[in-house]
Structure 1
């Protein structure tokens, strides 16, 4: 089972392992503002804050509980 760490940065492959969308759909959501923006850690490394991904997953869980 893949888990997202509580703090730190997470690369897209790990996010997509727990988030049920395609890579292109996730990037489209980032562009539209639906998903959190990434951070460039280096010229070839893009990642998201783990806290932002946990908040996103929690918001979807809340919507599902309604």
Structure 2
């Protein structure tokens, strides 16, 4: 598993989600929580974001069949 941290802009690019949507999904428990880097900086584990994307695709594929 990758231990690389990625910032919000990369998360937005990878998922196609807006910042507000990401934080809404976090508050609803449907998106990985960020890791605090400092008082005003957070980042996500790249592997958790990739897993979330794969889970989203898997759910889509299950709905089709």
* TM-score higher than 0.5: yes
Q: Secondary structure at the match of 2:43?
A: strand
Deviations 1:16-61, CA, capped at 9 Å, x for gaps: 0121221111111111111011110112210011111011011011
Alpha-carbon separation, structure 2, partners of 1:18 and 1:49: 13
Gaps of 5+ in 2: none
Pair member with larger Rg: 2
> Is it true that 1:45 corresponds to 2:35 in the alignment?
no
Gaps of 5+ in 1: 1-5
Counting helix residues as a fraction of each chain, which structure ranks higher? 2
- TM-score normalised to structure 2 length: 0.81
- TM-score normalised to structure 1 length: 0.80
Q: How many positions carry a matched residue from both structures?
A: 61
